[in-house]
Amino acid sequence: MVPHLVPRWPVCLFQWRAACTLGACVPQSAWAGASRTPGPGSPRGAVGTSPLVRRGGSSSSSRAPEVMLTRERYPVQRLPFSVVSEEDLAAFERITPGRVVTDPEELEASNVDWLRTVRGCSKVLLKPRTTEEVSHILRYCHERNLAVNPQGGNTGMVGGSVPVFDEIILSTALMNQVISFHGILVCQAGCILEELSRYVEERDFIMPLDLGAKGSCHIGGNVATNAGGLRFLRYGSLHGTVLGLEVVLADGTVLNCLTSLRKDNTGYDLKQLFIGSEGTLGVITAVSILCPPKPRAVNVAFLGCPGFAEVLQTFSTCKGMLGEILSAFEFMDAECMQLVGHHLGLISPVQESPFYVLIETSGSRAGHDAEKLSSFLEHVLDFGLVTDGTLATDQRRVKMLWALRERITEALSRDGCVYKYDISLPVERLYDLVSDLRARLGPKAKHVVGYGHLGDGNLHLNVTAEAFSASLLGALEPYVYEWTAGQRGSVSAEHGLGFKKKDVLSYSKPPAALQLMQQLKALLDPKGILNPYKTLPARA
Amino acid sequence: MVPHLVPRWPVCLFQWRAACTLGACVPQSAWAGASRTPGPGSPRGAVGTSPLVRRGGSSSSSRAPEVMLTRERYPVQRLPFSVVSEEDLAAFERITPGRVVTDPEELEASNVDWLRTVRGCSKVLLKPRTTEEVSHILRYCHERNLAVNPQGGNTGMVGGSVPVFDEIILSTALMNQVISFHGILVCQAGCILEELSRYVEERDFIMPLDLGAKGSCHIGGNVATNAGGLRFLRYGSLHGTVLGLEVVLADGTVLNCLTSLRKDNTGYDLKQLFIGSEGTLGVITAVSILCPPKPRAVNVAFLGCPGFAEVLQTFSTCKGMLGEILSAFEFMDAECMQLVGHHLGLISPVQESPFYVLIETSGSRAGHDAEKLSSFLEHVLDFGLVTDGTLATDQRRVKMLWALRERITEALSRDGCVYKYDISLPVERLYDLVSDLRARLGPKAKHVVGYGHLGDGNLHLNVTAEAFSASLLGALEPYVYEWTAGQRGSVSAEHGLGFKKKDVLSYSKPPAALQLMQQLKALLDPKGILNPYKTLPARA
């Protein structure tokens, strides 16, 4: 027998600022509320204001300010779809008995996006339970030329999940059954990501994706928007981890590609068409997805870096020394930390620094992981790449450290009017855009912050101001998009285009690509009834 | 400073049969020849006989037996494409001066597939160097209604890479330039996989795919056929690792989606359409692909298992105990070992066993990996899942062990007439098909063998006989396909459909899927000039 060398964890490698104080320093309520937004019960009024919100009251008002109707705010014309009639409602009642919602108050939550930036005026929401019901609904709508807005958890950032006009809302909320699980999860599209995570974790697996909206978002919506999130660095894109899909096409045809095979090269891989198509090519009704084994050990290090050059060097050192156990590399700048402190009462667990990084490892052997992490931390401290840091291994503290990164969105939304950009850039240029903008905007902006999934080259760039200002918007756009295009970046890394960003597609894709996208849309949805006004710019 | 606990490797955990003897037992020439077939210089005549080969001489004949023309062997009708004229040749000469091949001897190698099972009669092969040249060629062919057969390394298994009739062969052989590399490789489609591997390894990265044909296959062909191979278990599908593509469409339009971004959600992910479409939707001219860091330590264990149940238990133990460092889990049965012994002179490094598994680990810290592997091996030995085994860490012995698995195809091709199937199945049923067939075929077959990428649920099922027999074929088909369909498996896991398997598509895909594939083909290639007679069954 060979002795197993399990190294002991160096309990105090460097300043362990947070270990004893983190729970105490931060108001318990703030930490307890660190469920990733938007949670099912999150008070919509408290989360988010934006240029498109009529800010009728203060953000602390108990009553949410009314959101302006999209059709009033934006120069968008209703397309000549039919209008839902009494006969249509009766037909829907036959397809989904007792699950046809027409009550305006109940509809309100599904007409407005969670950021409270866009608002439709749909008069009916349908809650099918089965693929057959979805098929009947779409067949009916196709024949009647009725527009349909597929909706999952309504947690999108670009106005893709709510109607623009009076589209029928097709909710997957009741399609929430797990179909099978054997390392590969097969489930209906309306399963909530967090519930799926719990389900597979009880069976010693994890979901290959995780994101702030996990408490509300539906797996079908995740796939439809090709959600990225926090585990992308390790487990990659949904284009790789989704093994099969069941999709209902615009005319009601059920396309069953719900295989659970890791390899299948029989013909074109049709499911790929629907991943990231934002409900404009078909309605995803079920998903088959590969789940990685649950890691036995998870460590999170939260570190302060003296500059962005050191953030980059920390990242490259980290890839080399942590190798296969690295599961996240996130960064945030000093202004982000100020905002989560000011608006949410979260206190930095490390000394004030220009930049912070959050590094997560997930591995199969705690001792080995700790040893790798310890060597890495020693190295980055020795070389001055990191000036201070804290580590967490138990679940509660891991969550606390993650909250500092994950709740930035929430803190921003409390800071006033937010201009949000989600950009992919070559990693070495990632922060230049933030610095450039800060200089360009000067006192016009309240805050210009940069944070995001550095490991994936994904910057979340946010600018806040006291109130909406056309001149600020003019200083931001198209500057941000042109800057990004100049670096051959993507103007939407993971949020998609939805309604709000559809017109900037051409900054990242050439005309030939746009033309083919339009052709695919016309092929799969010739009447254009599926999630109209989204993803693709209107044809000239 | 924390002491680094680097465990010492247990040099003799169990019988180290091969460590000293492997190089000596096996004729050096055999091992030296263990380049993964087909290599650029592999004698085609010695590799492969099949039901479709006119076996004019013995397989040991120095002159390759002539392969029957596909149009004579199969009931396939030429479609009404134009015939290449002298004017066409002159036009091609203007587009690719000095790179228009019409010499029959030179054309022969590109008209016949490497398995020597299908043979076209193309009269012209073009060797463009640039995307613009490919675009000009396709624009011309589209206007003239000339059919085109895109060809990479011509290493496909299903007759997808050679003409069926007189299609113009469009070779990517001269499109072999690396465009850029910064962890993400951007290169032309005609780069040979092994050369790219060498290129990125010199820079401390590896290619995310590896396969037997690496010495000849082109990266463009790999992507066009969605190649799986030996690293799939660890790095996943090309749908996840390919970040961008440049494709020339049937009418010559250049679709430039050659981004190097890990995340890009601007519109539909068009590149996915072309991954695995076998050159029938467009010609891939350049590829952007994510390269993982080169592992610092690679270990290979070659183990003998007493039964298939133990193979499965070894796999599940392995996933748990090796976790993130597991990079391959391959299996082969006893008959495979007999064949590589008999035909190639390779000698088993472990005691005779009903099954063998090859496990590879790739990690960032040799000591940790060795410790994990040692615990795992101890466990599987203690529990009787494995009865004998050998380990290799140095590159030479690692290659030797891999050769046992990788050269099975070559050994089979020397065994007579080979019937090949490449099947995805739920892993627990993987070997049942082999046992069933062995019982069903009885003495009709010479050998019925099963091997493959167990970790991916991918079985390579091969049956050999002295000569082609219609009754043996009748006993195999559609039985194998029906059996697979009964398990909801895939009748082509990684080889694709090409010409030879296109008619079995419907065993793994429903009619609605087939219809959408036909529509996509019609949209992207309305004249059907790109790789005709392949991938999709002929329309009724």
DSSP structural state of residue B170 = E
pLDDT digits (tens, 9 = 90+) for B318-351: 999 999 999 999 999 999 999 999 999 999 999 9
In this prediction, residue B27 carries a pLDDT of 26
Chain A: residue whose CA lies nearest to B10: A2
Confidence band (pLDDT; 50, 70, 90) for A212?
confident
pLDDT digits (tens, 9 = 90+) for B258-305: 999 999 999 999 999 999 999 999 999 999 999 999 999 999 999 999
Q: How far apart are the first and last CA of chain A?
A: 74
Given CB atoms, is B261 within the 8 Å cutoff of chain A?
Answer: yes
Please give the Cα distance from B423 to B461 (Å, whole number).
7
Please give the Cα distance from B207 to B187 (Å, whole number).
12
DSSP structural state of residue B250 = T
Q: Closest partner residue to B266 among A236, A368, A508, by Cβ?
A: A508
Q: How many beta-carbon pairs below 8 A join chains A and B?
A: 280
CA dist B350 to A103, A291, B304, B337, Å? 73, 34, 7, 11
Check B270 against A491: CB less than 8 A apart. Answer: no
Give the DSSP per-residue string, B25-64: HS-HHHHHT-SPSSPTT--GGGS-B-TTB---S-TT-SSP
Report chain B residues whose CB lies below 8 A from the CB of A322: 364
DSSP structural state of residue A351 = -
Q: Closest partner residue to B264 among A260, A266, A424, by Cβ?
A: A424
What integer is the mean pLDDT of A39-43? Answer: 33
For B179-200, b/e burial (b = at least 16 CB within 10 A) is eebebbbbbbbbbbbbbbbebb
Given CB atoms, is B262 within the 8 Å cutoff of chain A?
Answer: yes
- Chain A (477-496) residues lying within 8 Å, Cβ to Cβ, of chain B: 488-496
Please give the Cα distance from B188 to B179 (Å, whole number).
7
pLDDT digits (tens, 9 = 90+) for A389-431: 999 999 999 999 999 999 999 999 999 999 999 999 999 999 9
Name residue B160's amino acid.
Answer: G
Report chain B residues whose CB lies below 8 A from the CB of A488: 259-261
Q: Mean pLDDT score of chain A, rounded to an integer?
A: 89
In this prediction, residue B351 carries a pLDDT of 95
Given CB atoms, is A226 within the 8 Å cutoff of chain B?
Answer: yes
What integer is the mean pLDDT of A140-167? Answer: 97
Check B496 against A1: CB less than 8 A apart. Answer: no
Tokens 């200002």 -> residue: A469
Q: Which of A38-52, A495-509, B105-119 has the lowest mean pLDDT?
A: A38-52
Does A540 have pLDDT greater than 80?
no
Report chain A residues whose CB lies below 8 A from the CB of B256: 510, 512-513
In this prediction, residue A501 carries a pLDDT of 96
| Tokens coding A524 | 């799969």
Does A144 have pLDDT greater than 80?
yes
Report chain A residues whose CB lies below 8 A from the CB of B534: none
Given CB atoms, is B526 within the 8 Å cutoff of chain A?
Answer: no
Testing the interface with A: which of B209, B235, B262 to mutate, by most A Cβ within 10 A? B262
Please give the Cα distance from A184 to A243 (Å, whole number).
8
What integer is the mean pLDDT of A11-34? Answer: 30
Report chain B residues whose CB lies below 8 A from the CB of A270: 513, 516-517
Q: Which helix (H) or strand (E) segment is A356 a member of?
A: strand A355-363
In this prediction, residue A45 carries a pLDDT of 27
% of chain A at pLDDT higher than 90: 85
Check A491 against B266: CB less than 8 A apart. Answer: yes
Chain A: residue whose CA lies nearest to B374: A2
DSSP structural state of residue A368 = H
Confidence band (pLDDT; 50, 70, 90) for A12?
very low
pLDDT digits (tens, 9 = 90+) for A217-239: 999 999 999 999 899 999 999 99
Q: Mean pLDDT score of chain B, rounded to an integer?
A: 89
Distance from CA of B60 to the nearest CA of A (A): 34
Does A29 have pLDDT greater than 50?
no
In 3D space, the residue among A495, A83, A261 whose CA is nearest the CA of residue B263 turns out to be A495
In this prediction, residue B57 carries a pLDDT of 29
pLDDT digits (tens, 9 = 90+) for B59-103: 333 456 689 999 999 999 999 999 999 999 999 999 999 999 999
Q: Closest partner residue to B240 among A239, A267, A495, by Cβ?
A: A239
Q: Closest partner residue to B490 among A263, A325, A458, by Cβ?
A: A263
pTM for the whole structure: 0.90
Q: Closest partner residue to B270 among A241, A375, A516, by Cβ?
A: A516
Confidence band (pLDDT; 50, 70, 90) for B212?
confident
Give the DSSP per-residue string, B328-361: EEEEEEHHHHHHHHHHH----SS---SEEEEEEE
Asked if A350 and A303 count as a contact pair (C-beta separation under 8 A), the reply is yes
Does A125 have pLDDT greater than 60?
yes
% of chain B at pLDDT higher than 90: 85
Q: Closest partner residue to B323 among A1, A363, A497, by Cβ?
A: A363
Chain A: residue whose CA lies nearest to B366: A368
- Chain B (284-323) residues lying within 8 Å, Cβ to Cβ, of chain A: 293, 295-296, 319-323
Please give the Cα distance from A434 to A480 (Å, whole number).
10
Predicted-assembly ipTM surpassing the 0.95 threshold: no
Q: Are β-strands A148-151 and A168-171 bridged in parallel, bridged antiparallel, or unpaired?
A: parallel
What integer is the mean pLDDT of B462-476? Answer: 94
Distance from CA of A255 to the nearest CA of B (A): 6
Given CB atoms, is A4 within the 8 Å cutoff of chain B?
Answer: yes
pLDDT digits (tens, 9 = 90+) for B405-456: 999 999 999 999 999 999 999 999 999 999 999 999 999 999 999 999 999 9
Report chain B residues whose CB lies below 8 A from the CB of A495: 265
Q: Closest partner residue to A378 among B2, B273, B364, by Cβ?
A: B2
Asked if B367 and B436 count as a contact pair (C-beta separation under 8 A), the reply is no
In this prediction, residue B39 carries a pLDDT of 37
